[in-house]
Structure 1
Amino acid sequence: MAVGYDRGMSEEDALLKAVIADAGDDTPRLVYADWLDEHDAPIQAEFIRTQCRLASCSIADPEYPELLERAAEVELRFGLALRLTAPQLPSGFKHEREFRRGFPHFAVADWEVDPVPHHEGRVPPGNEQVDRVCAALPDLVANTTVRHLALQRMTPDVLARVLAEPAARVLTGLTVSPVEPDAEGGDALIRVIGRSPVVANLEHLDLATPSTVAGLAALNANPDRFRTLDLPALSGRREDIPALARAAWFRGLRDVFMRRVERPLQGPLLVALAGAPRLESLTVWHLQPTALKALGSATGFPELARLTFEFCDDTGRIAARLAGGRFPRLADLTISGLDDDTFAPLLGARWFPQLHTFDSSGGSLTDASAAALSKSPAAPRLRVLKVWGNWFTKAGLAALGNGARFPALAALTLDLSVGDTRVRPDALARFAAGLSLSRLRYLDLGGWPLGDAGAKALAANPHLANVTRLRLAGCGIGDRGLTALARSRHLQGLLELSVYNNTLKKAAALLVPDRLPRLAALNLDVNPIRPADRAALHRARGWLV
């Protein structure tokens, strides 16, 4: 979209005006990125390009994990500038730190309600506050890229007032929470949204309010635009689900987050979602065993690429049912709380080798599962592996750190998090020295008692030369270990280093800026560093400390 110059308007102002005027199109953003490259701002240009590529990339794409990791790295490099480039919002709104496609996307209506004892969170905004937000909304959408608005403590009348503003029509995302958290109130808010002009452009709705199936079916969203639905709680009658499943907007959904759906509704709702031809991402909390039938469907979920289960009581039955499903495009699976017996059926599923991301954290997997995974057909393809909080010993760790078995692995999370380990520090040092994951870019070994010997082993390991983010929280590392990390010729590309909750007293190795020169995020919290030494670090490393 071409933009003419106002008298006195700079070239950059004109480019930004074009971005804001056509906030749904990547082309003006990429044109601005080219301009940034030509004007000595290559990191910001790369941030915009990477986020645009990520937004348009399917989760099933083999390059998706690479893009996700790249986006995290670029955001670290952009660092402080990321916050400084966010425009000041008009009075009545405040930023949430969420950038999409390179620009701020999310804001919260700031009602500035004074807390009322025993009633905080149940006080609707007053007329003057609503008037202020409504008056500032045209400024928000005309001068920023914010298109997702969070509206808290809503009543139907207040929500209707805000959404009736002509400027609200360009919003593509809403997060709505009620004054009174009950299904009847949630349904009333849905009716307001469904009757407002906003619904024509709505792409993402986060209903931070209970609702019923019948109330949700009345949303009447635009099937050509609507993509993402977050449901905190759903109640009502099973008999109403067929009407919901037939709604064109429901069948067009790409991303669904089910938090607390009443037990009798879980199965029928999953069956309905299995028939949604475009559904790519599904997150389910508190799934009950009675709702498992849809997961084994031979014809359902044709486009599902990401599947996440959290806070489920019977992960064994879920895993067994999943193992019998078809899932032709599944690439990213999260299922917490597995043990060796419940993991085995998943490992044998015909779709398991196509995964690029697997997260089975917070369970009781042992060395047997680590060895089985490392020898499976899935191992060569995996790019992201998260298995923190499991029961591995030195044999399991060695299997997971074997680069011959996991040649593509770019991110490994082994954070012990809670509990104790039988692995001795000397064995951990040998594990650190033997890590041979040469494509690794992210490594989290938090909680494992590496000590200085383990830190020195990591520092001396040439296979870690591509690591850009290293998290070693609670590893018993002292100043000698940190010195080895800072001096390591293999780790000079680090963008992030977390040595939270260790035994550092001075961290003097970081006083030399030439060591770890690319560092953009540093966590030294919960270390016994004296104020004077922390001040010296601040002088040497600036805002990082």
Structure 2
Amino acid sequence: MKTPHLRADEGFGYHSATMNDEAGLLAAITAHANEDTPRLAYADWLDENEAPVQAEFIRLQCRLASCSAADPDYPDLTERHAEMVAQFGPLAKLTAPALPPGYHAEHDITGFQRGFLSAASGSWRADRRTPTDEDVEQFAAGLSQLIATTTVRELHLTDLTPDQVFRVLTAPGAESLTSVLVAQRFALGSTGDTESELIRAVALSKVVPNLEYLRLFFGSTPPPTAGITQLARAKFDRLTHLTLWIQTGPTCDLTPLTSAAWFRNLRRVYFGDSAVRGSVLVPALAKLPHLESLDLIQQSAPARKALGTARGFPALARLELQGRVPFNDAVRVATGRFPALAELTIRGEGDANTAVQRFCFAKWWPQIRVLELAGGWITDETIKAFARSEIVPGLRVLRLHQRSFGAPGLALLANGSRFPNLTTLNLDLSHATQCRPAVAVTFARRLSLPRLRHLSLYGYPLGDAGAKELAANPHLASVTRLALRGCDIGERGLTALVRSPHLQQLVELDVGNNNLKRAGALLDPIRLPRLSALGLGGNPLTPAARAKLHRARGWLA
């Protein structure tokens, strides 16, 4: 694997360079791709050779890979990682190795784990077509080379037949894979028998002993019990992450799965749509001693109800509920026992007020440090109760994608004495326009969160006046990521932001969907010297203006 390191001695204008001893470090990383020690040694070497951004990116990803949401450092790590993604993300493609013929990788940051490219799919995915037998044959034939020359240990197998999946997962090199995604799109009209055969192809393949991540995405009909039984009987010695997604169809009997010996070792579980019967699954999940993260997406009311009555979940630190009406049933979660819960996400529809007000009295509520509520309606009275609740002292990350609270609620959220430790605040008004411009401008002026690092105000009608208030706000001196998409900001507002003495620590600025025709203020590289990621999509900028901006900043095209 030949991977150039990235020197930082020319600001954002990184260039490729190689060193004599770099080859040995990279060879060790490839040969021991499942270990962190060679990666961390390479990070030390990068520091010594003027590539601190890439070095920190590697260290952060290695740390996060083994981090639970209950870890005291979790909010800091995730926020710092987001900053490093902004800085290193545009450069990731420079470190991605060449792949064998027939392979494709998205050379953006999403394909990286623990600092290096980790996932690949077939070239047919890049071409948006269904694979042929010749495609799969080439893919299988190149697997041993992929393992020998890169850090990729995750394959995405989309739209393959069961025979094709089995051919890939029994090819030389498959025994070294640690993560597999098998997806069958709904458009293919697959049947339960097809999906059972896909499961069988995985369960009888070479990947089973070393597999740590298994993700199964099925289009329509759930696999019959025979397929689930086959999966349960597989000898997964190292499996810790399981995803089962079924887009539509009846519930699936997972009793054989929950009785499997390997099921007890799971740490992260994602069950999507109508995949499971809550009365069977949730009590079984509650008994898992190591379960840290649980996603129940589009689940039935019994599944959510069971979360309020099941006893256990000793290690569950992160819980996400998502669906059409999860707020109607989420109130039952308030009675649940979650001794380690630190991150809660609920996405859905309906009235969120009752759920939030019930949460304020839950035993686990003071533990929450990361909270995201999306889609439901929240009133000013609920924000008032929330701001007075026991969650406030420890809350670090708050994301509210809501549509109904107004000036009183915004005034509470802006108050630094109410939220002294909040470091990330995301407010999304993209689905409605209840907020008047004057209210948004006042919020920008009064925002006084003393530890704020990341701020997103999606859709708030700030205009140039609001942008100027943000630029003049001394409480934003620690902000590194600022997102102001769809905020009616023009050239004058952008100029105020760029010239602000309080915003010079920005590494990421998103001003997409505004009224920018030139973004001329950004042409001066002296302003916002740390800026590495810029969102301008949806603005009436000409290609020539964008190219001029990239040249002025010394950014990669």
TM-score relative to the length of structure 2: 0.90
Q: Give secondary structure in 2 for the equivalent of 1:308.
A: strand
In the alignment, is residue 341 of structure 1 matched against residue 354 of structure 2?
Answer: yes
The residue aligned with 2:7 is none
**Correspondence 1:435-454 to 2 at 5 A:** 435-454=447-466
Deviation at residue 109 of structure 1 after TM alignment: 2.0
Query: Any conservation in 1 of the 2:317–2:343 contact (CA below 8 Å)?
Result: yes
- 1:260-299 residue CA offsets vs partner (Å, 9 max, x unmatched): 2257x23212222222222111111222223344212352
Q: Give secondary structure in 1 for the equivalent of 2:173.
A: helix
In the alignment, is residue 58 of structure 1 matched against residue 64 of structure 2?
Answer: no
Deviation at residue 18 of structure 1 after TM alignment: 0.5
The residue aligned with 1:325 is 336
The residue aligned with 1:72 is 82
Deviation at residue 60 of structure 1 after TM alignment: 1.0
Of residues 467, 474, 493, the one that matches 1:462 is 474
- 1:8-50 residue CA offsets vs partner (Å, 9 max, x unmatched): 9931111011011111110010011111111111111111001
Query: Any conservation in 2 of the 1:452–1:481 contact (CA below 8 Å)?
Result: yes
Counterparts of 1:427 and 1:152, CA distance in 2: 48
Q: Give secondary structure in 1 for the equivalent of 2:242.
A: strand
The residue aligned with 2:96 is 86
The residue aligned with 1:276 is 288
Q: Give secondary structure in 2 for the equivalent of 1:211.
A: coil
Q: What amino acid is the match of 1:164?
A: T
CA 1:101 to 1:114, structure 2 compared with 1: closer, same or farther past 3 Å?
Answer: closer
In the alignment, is residue 260 of structure 1 matched against residue 284 of structure 2?
Answer: no
Counterparts of 1:37 and 1:197, CA distance in 2: 38
Q: Give secondary structure in 2 for the equivalent of 1:154.
A: coil
The residue aligned with 1:520 is 532
The residue aligned with 2:6 is none
In the alignment, is residue 403 of structure 1 matched against residue 412 of structure 2?
Answer: no
Q: What amino acid is the match of 1:36?
A: L
The residue aligned with 1:48 is 58
Counterparts of 2:127 and 2:548, CA distance in 1: 41
Counterparts of 2:337 and 2:389, CA distance in 1: 19
Counterparts of 2:317 and 2:105, CA distance in 1: 31
Counterparts of 1:496 and 1:105, CA distance in 2: 25
Deviation at residue 236 of structure 1 after TM alignment: 7.8
**Correspondence 1:73-472 to 2 at 5 A:** 73-96=83-106, 97=108, 98-111=111-124, 121=130, 125-126=132-133, 128-178=134-184, 181-209=190-218, 210-219=222-231, 220-233=233-246, 241-261=254-274, 265-297=277-309, 299-316=311-328, 318-336=329-347, 337=349, 338-421=351-434, 423-472=435-484
Deviation at residue 530 of structure 1 after TM alignment: 4.8
Counterparts of 1:237 and 1:362, CA distance in 2: 25
Query: Any conservation in 2 of the 1:287–1:313 contact (CA below 8 Å)?
Result: no
- 1:431-472 residue CA offsets vs partner (Å, 9 max, x unmatched): 111111121111111111111111111111111111111111
Q: What amino acid is the match of 1:404?
A: S
In the alignment, is residue 540 of structure 1 matched against residue 552 of structure 2?
Answer: yes
Query: Any conservation in 2 of the 1:213–1:244 contact (CA below 8 Å)?
Result: no
- 1:486-543 residue CA offsets vs partner (Å, 9 max, x unmatched): 0111100111111111122332211111011111111222223355544432331244
Counterparts of 1:112 and 1:369, CA distance in 2: 46
Query: Any conservation in 1 of the 2:90–2:556 contact (CA below 8 Å)?
Result: no
RMSD: 2.2
Which consecutive residues of structure 1, in runs of 5 or more, have no partner in the other structure? 1-7
The residue aligned with 1:4 is none
Counterparts of 1:413 and 1:348, CA distance in 2: 24
Q: Give secondary structure in 2 for the equivalent of 1:412.
A: strand
Query: Any conservation in 2 of the 1:471–1:499 contact (CA below 8 Å)?
Result: yes
Deviation at residue 135 of structure 1 after TM alignment: 1.8
CA 1:400 to 1:201, structure 2 compared with 1: closer, same or farther past 3 Å?
Answer: same
Query: Any conservation in 2 of the 1:212–1:236 contact (CA below 8 Å)?
Result: no
Deviation at residue 314 of structure 1 after TM alignment: 4.7
Counterparts of 1:448 and 1:112, CA distance in 2: 37
Q: What amino acid is the match of 2:206?
A: P
Query: Any conservation in 1 of the 2:377–2:404 contact (CA below 8 Å)?
Result: yes
CA 1:59 to 1:30, structure 2 compared with 1: closer, same or farther past 3 Å?
Answer: same
The range that moved more, 214-223 or 340-349, is 214-223
Query: Any conservation in 2 of the 1:213–1:236 contact (CA below 8 Å)?
Result: no
Counterparts of 1:140 and 1:451, CA distance in 2: 51
Deviation at residue 305 of structure 1 after TM alignment: 1.0
Counterparts of 2:485 and 2:126, CA distance in 1: 38
CA 1:31 to 1:394, structure 2 compared with 1: closer, same or farther past 3 Å?
Answer: same
Counterparts of 1:469 and 1:380, CA distance in 2: 23
Query: Any conservation in 2 of the 1:274–1:294 contact (CA below 8 Å)?
Result: no
Deviation at residue 411 of structure 1 after TM alignment: 0.9
Q: Give secondary structure in 2 for the equivalent of 1:445.
A: strand
Counterparts of 2:74 and 2:137, CA distance in 1: 43
Q: Give secondary structure in 1 for the equivalent of 2:363.
A: coil
Q: What amino acid is the match of 1:231?
A: L
Deviation at residue 194 of structure 1 after TM alignment: 1.4
Counterparts of 1:113 and 1:320, CA distance in 2: 43
Query: Any conservation in 2 of the 1:211–1:235 contact (CA below 8 Å)?
Result: no
Q: Give secondary structure in 1 for the equivalent of 2:451.
A: coil
Of residues 5, 8, 14, the one that matches 2:24 is 14
The residue aligned with 1:5 is none
The residue aligned with 2:10 is none
Deviation at residue 211 of structure 1 after TM alignment: 2.5
Query: Any conservation in 2 of the 1:450–1:477 contact (CA below 8 Å)?
Result: yes
Query: Any conservation in 1 of the 2:305–2:333 contact (CA below 8 Å)?
Result: no
Q: What amino acid is the match of 1:149?
A: L
CA 1:496 to 1:9, structure 2 compared with 1: closer, same or farther past 3 Å?
Answer: closer
Q: What amino acid is the match of 1:387?
A: L
Deviation at residue 152 of structure 1 after TM alignment: 2.0
Q: What amino acid is the match of 1:478?
A: G
Query: Any conservation in 2 of the 1:319–1:345 contact (CA below 8 Å)?
Result: no
Aligned-pair identity in percent equals: 50
Q: Give secondary structure in 1 for the equivalent of 2:509.
A: strand
CA 1:312 to 1:203, structure 2 compared with 1: closer, same or farther past 3 Å?
Answer: same
Q: Give secondary structure in 2 for the equivalent of 1:151.
A: strand
Counterparts of 2:153 and 2:459, CA distance in 1: 40
Q: How many residue pairs get matched? A: 527
Pick 1 or 2: higher relative contact order, CA cutoff 8 A, min separation 6: 2
Q: What amino acid is the match of 1:393?
A: G
Counterparts of 1:217 and 1:205, CA distance in 2: 16
Q: Give secondary structure in 2 for the equivalent of 1:107.
A: strand
Q: What amino acid is the match of 1:187?
A: S
Counterparts of 1:434 and 1:9, CA distance in 2: 51
Deviation at residue 222 of structure 1 after TM alignment: 4.4
